[in-house]
Structure 1
């Protein structure tokens, strides 16, 4: 298969298989992610207001908790590359942009973002992307070894936490208003969901 030309508006097709090397060569006006070599376009519109408010609360809580610690929190847009067998750009075919992620291993960070699984990943659902977040990203996050995956549903004001145990995710119960949650990936971190959802 021919490599797509560099620096063109939309150099990929629905049937291609692409890598991080291809991704770096593209100059696009829109956000995209690669999941197992397939291109997924992000919504053209900016995230809804409620999405932004939840993201700000969570990022602030994580930032304050992590001050002075090795772990760092990052918010979208931030590329997370999930290699399978090699860290070479041409061998990586999954590049995602979680809403938030926490990386505790400095060796995984470089000037381009993160290479390897973050310790904690948070995705805030938006209309139209739920299948990608719940199914496709769940699979690659689990396979890559991300210790915890949080799925926030703004409309329902719920949080579901997947915790990695012996290579497989174990789901929590569904948390909502009135609940306090903790993180196994970040011992000592607690979150009052009234502070996340209470003013929406």
Structure 2
């Protein structure tokens, strides 16, 4: 018996019936447990809030938080934060967002840096942001000619994000969890 016969391949229709938090990547289920930690939640919440304020006057772009993105009949991902610059068809996101941001944790680093990097590139996501709260660092990639090119590493600088209808000046210094300083 071949190894491929032992691997099950699931569809988005089956995924919708599952309990718990899952992603489905090219037919393979990926558990999303345990839930994100405090630094993860803090960082993704601050990113969402900045994007939400920045897009308040843009009628073409919307920021969304932890929503399923259905790329194919066998692939559904739940990124931390996305920006869409189109009107969704119905109540689901079924095409590539303009921007996806993932907050990287030790348990997701390989998936975020490799698997999702390739998936988002192949699906035509214009910007991919990887945020590392423990390092107070964000890597920004932009899709150019079908491949991701690194825009840069950002810590406390301002990072411009050029969307089709507007530009966001993301203040990276406001993203990271604040740690108390030693008072001497």
**TM-score between the two structures when normalised by the length of structure 1:** 0.81
What is the aligned residue count?
172
Report the counterpart of residue 15 of structure 1 in structure 2.
7
- CA distance in 2: counterparts of 1:19 and 1:199, whole angstroms: 41
Say whether residues 1:190 and 2:169 are aligned partners.
yes
Q: Where do residues 165-176 of structure 1 align in structure 2 (5 Å cutoff)?
A: 165-176=144-155
- CA distance in 2: counterparts of 1:189 and 1:127, whole angstroms: 29
- CA distance in 2: counterparts of 1:181 and 1:173, whole angstroms: 9
Say whether residues 1:32 and 2:22 are aligned partners.
yes
Say whether residues 1:94 and 2:75 are aligned partners.
yes
Report the counterpart of residue 123 of structure 2 in structure 1.
144
Equivalent position SS for 1:33: strand
**Match among 110, 124, 133 for residue 90 of structure 2:** 110
Task: Mark the runs of 5 or more structure 1 residues left unpaired by the alignment.
Answer: 1-13, 84-91
Relative to its length, the structure with more strand (as a share) is 2
CA RMSD of aligned residues (A): 1.6
- CA distance in 1: counterparts of 2:136 and 2:177, whole angstroms: 9
Task: Mark the runs of 5 or more structure 2 residues left unpaired by the alignment.
Answer: 1-5, 180-184
- CA distance in 2: counterparts of 1:27 and 1:20, whole angstroms: 10
Say whether residues 1:70 and 2:57 are aligned partners.
no
Report the counterpart of residue 6 of structure 1 in structure 2.
none
- CA distance in 2: counterparts of 1:118 and 1:198, whole angstroms: 27
- CA distance in 1: counterparts of 2:71 and 2:167, whole angstroms: 27
